[in-house]
Amino acid sequence: MKTSFTVNGSPFSIDLDPRVTLLDALRDHLNLTGSKKGCDHGQCGACTVLVDGRRINACLSLAVMHDGDEITTVEGLSEDGRSPLQSAFVRHDGMQCGYCTPGQLCSATAVFREIAEGWPSHVSETLDGPYALTREELAERMSGNICRCSCYPGINAAILETAEEDAGYAEAAE
């Protein structure tokens, strides 16, 4: 089935079996292998990508259902792989094997936006916001991304530091 979508700003039109997940379309048809296949069942978050700015598990979505969508993978988060968040991951040693890292980066990017839009979380004390990205909020909001090397101290430090330094995020959250 002919399917067209934009990935990292570039338009693609590909012919796909409807069984192909968005993750497999990205990796096997577009050779964008940054997004990783961990569990392939939505439990680990390694496949997290952004669709129209929102994070989803690309493994649990059929590619044909994304006709017309704008998709961002880890390859599209920055031109040189050195966005403030990516650089913070390097600085804080936010990975060991690195397999979960693309998903962590995409997920955290979406968390910044969700905080800025005033979305509450399970651990938020009130439902009316606004919310700050505390350590507790971060742990809850990133619970869909597992790191089996357990590099959470570095991952958390990198995300929290980026959140603090991102003026746009802070302003929007006010």
Partner 1 sequence: MKPFDYQRPDTLSGAHGAARDGATFIAGGTNLIDLMKLEVMAPDTLIDISRLGLDRIVPHGDGLHVGATVTNSDLAADMRIRRDYPVLARALLAGASGQLRNKATTGGNLLQRTRCPYFYDTATPCNKRSPGSGCAALGGEMRNHAVLGTSEHCVALHPSDMAVAMRALDVTVEVEGADGTRSETALDDFYRLPGDRPDQETTLDAGDLITGVILPAPFGGRQTYRKVRDRASYAFALVSVAATVRMENDRISNVALAFGGIGTRPWRDPDVEDLLTGETPTTALFEKAGDILMKDAVLREGLEFKDTLVRRLLTATLTEMTQ
For partner 1, which stretch binds (CB under 8 A), given 5-13, 30-38, 41-49, 155-163?
A: 41-49
Give the DSSP per-residue string, the chain. Answer: -EEEEEETTEEEEEE--TT-BHHHIIIIIS--TTS--SSSSSSS-TTEEEETTEEEEGGGSBGGGGTT-EEE-GGGS-SSS--HHHHHHHHTT--SS-TTHHHHHHHHHHHHHHHHTT---TT-S-SS------HHHHHHHTTT---TT--HHHHHHHHHHHHHH-HHHHHHH-
φ and ψ at residue 138, rounded to 5 degrees: -65, -45
For partner 1, which stretch binds (CB under 8 A), given 27-35, 55-63, 79-87, 155-163?
A: 55-63
28 counts as binding partner 1 under rule CB under 8 A: no
93 counts as binding partner 1 under rule CB under 8 A: no
- Amino acid (1-letter code) at residue 136: E
* Minimum gap (Å) between residue 168 Cβ and partner 1: 20
* Minimum gap (Å) between residue 174 Cβ and partner 1: 17
87/172 with CB nearer partner 1: 172
- The correct pick among 28, 117, 164, 165 for binding partner 1 (CB under 8 A) is 117
For partner 1, which stretch binds (CB under 8 A), given 62-70, 80-88, 153-161, 166-174?
A: 62-70
19 counts as binding partner 1 under rule CB under 8 A: yes
For partner 1, the binding residues in 131-160 under the rule CB under 8 A are 139-144
Cα 27 to the center of its chain, rounded Å: 16
Binding site for partner 1 (CB under 8 A): 1, 17-19, 21, 40-42, 45, 48, 54-57, 60-62, 64-65, 67, 107, 110-111, 114, 117-122, 124, 127-128, 139-144
